[in-house]
Chain A
Amino acid sequence: EAQVTQNPRYLITVTGKKLTVTCSQNMNHEYMSWYRQDPGLGLRQIYYSMNVEVTDKGDVPEGYKVSRKEKRNFPLILESPSPNQTSLYFCASSLTRTDTQYFGPGTRLTVL
Chain B
Amino acid sequence: AQSVTQLDSQVPVFEEAPVELRCNYSSSVSVYLFWYVQYPNQGLQLLLKYLSGSTLVKGINGFEAEFNKSQTSFHLRKPSVHISDTAEYFCAVIRGNQFYFGTGTSLTVIP
Binding site for B on A (CB under 8 A): 4, 33, 35, 40-45, 48, 50, 56, 58-59, 90, 92, 97-98, 100-101, 103-106
Pick the contact of A42: B51, B98, B102 (CB < 8 A): B102
Q: Is the interface of A mostly helix, strand, loop or mixed?
A: strand
Q: B7 within 8 Å of A by Cβ?
A: no
Q: In the docked arrangement, what's the CA distance between A59 and B98, Å?
A: 8
- List which B1-22 residues lie within 8 A (CB) of chain A: 6, 9
Q: B101 within 8 Å of A by Cβ?
A: yes
29 contacts between A and B (CB under 8 A): A4-B43, A40-B9, A40-B103, A42-B90, A42-B101, A42-B102, A42-B103, A42-B104, A43-B90, A45-B98, A45-B99, A45-B100, A48-B97, A48-B98, A58-B98, A58-B99, A59-B98, A90-B43, A92-B44, A97-B94, A97-B97, A97-B99, A101-B44, A101-B46, A103-B43, A103-B44, A103-B45, A105-B42, A106-B42
Q: How far is the CB of A31 from chain B (nearest CB, A)?
A: 8
Q: How far is the CB of B100 from chain A (nearest CB, A)?
A: 7
Q: In the docked arrangement, what's the CA distance between A40 and B104, Å?
A: 8
Instruction: Tally A-B pairs: CB < 8 A.
Output: 57
Q: B63 within 8 Å of A by Cβ?
A: no
Binding site for A on B (CB under 8 A): 6, 9, 32, 36, 42-46, 49, 51, 90, 92, 94, 97-104
Q: Is the interface of B mostly helix, strand, loop or mixed?
A: strand
Question: Which 9 pairs of residues, A with B, have the shortest CB-CB distance?
Answer: A103-B43, A42-B103, A43-B101, A100-B46, A103-B44, A42-B101, A42-B104, A45-B99, A97-B97
Chain B residues with CB below 8 A from A104, complex form? 43
Chain A residues with CB below 8 A from B104, complex form? 42
Contact B46 A106 (CB under 8 A): no
Chain B residues with CB below 8 A from A45, complex form? 98-101
